[in-house]
Amino acid sequence: MKLPEIKILDEKNKLLHQQSKEVTFPLDKETIKLAKDTLKYLKMSQDEKVAEKYNIRAGMGMAFVQLGFLKRIFVIASENDDHTFDEYIVVNPKIISQSEELIYVGEGEGCLSVNREVEGIVPRYARITVQFYDINGNLQTIRVREDLSVAFQHEIDHLNGILFVDKIDKKNPYKNASKMREI
């Protein structure tokens, strides 16, 4: 299987700090193809042999802005224990509720646009409910938790021009860690 050719912008690119625009339906063929290619790329990146062969890092999600398109779309490929994937193509998402409980990724968040080690934690809600449109324009509502909640919040931040590194306290990278649960 051939790795789809997608170019991921680096954090130095100013586009990553711009707000993405809502999209209208129906989606054009190029947008649909890019969403499906990006899902395939993410799934392949999570296979150690493929990642090594193509010299790529594993990724779970990708916002269209990371590919150079200011569209409110992101995709997530979440690997299950049985090596199948839950796939999400999320268009025009809105968080409609969140838990009070905060969590953070113990080993630190990563991003395919941030090609360096980053120390610190990013506070995230343990559970969120998101309303969005699927690739066909159907309104969906999903409740996500733990890793998937972090991924959804990370990608929604991208759509709002925010990188995870922007959310880490520069003076105290582990600020308030004791008030959150590590995952």
Structure tokens at 88: 């999400």
Per the listing, tokens 């690119």 go with 13
Q: How far apart are CA 181 and CA 23, in angstroms?
A: 35
Q: What is the four-CA torsion angle of 145, 148, 151, 155, rounded to 10 degrees?
A: -90
Active site residue 155: yes
In the set 5, 30, 87, 155, the catalytic residue is: 155
**Residue bearing tokens 């170019």:** 7
In sequence order, what DSSP letters do the residues of 11-55 get, joined into one string?
Answer: TT-GGGGSPPBP--SSPPHHHHHHHHHHHHHHHHHTSHHHHHHHT
- In angstroms, the CA 70 to CA 82 distance is 34
Q: Catalytic residue positions?
A: 155
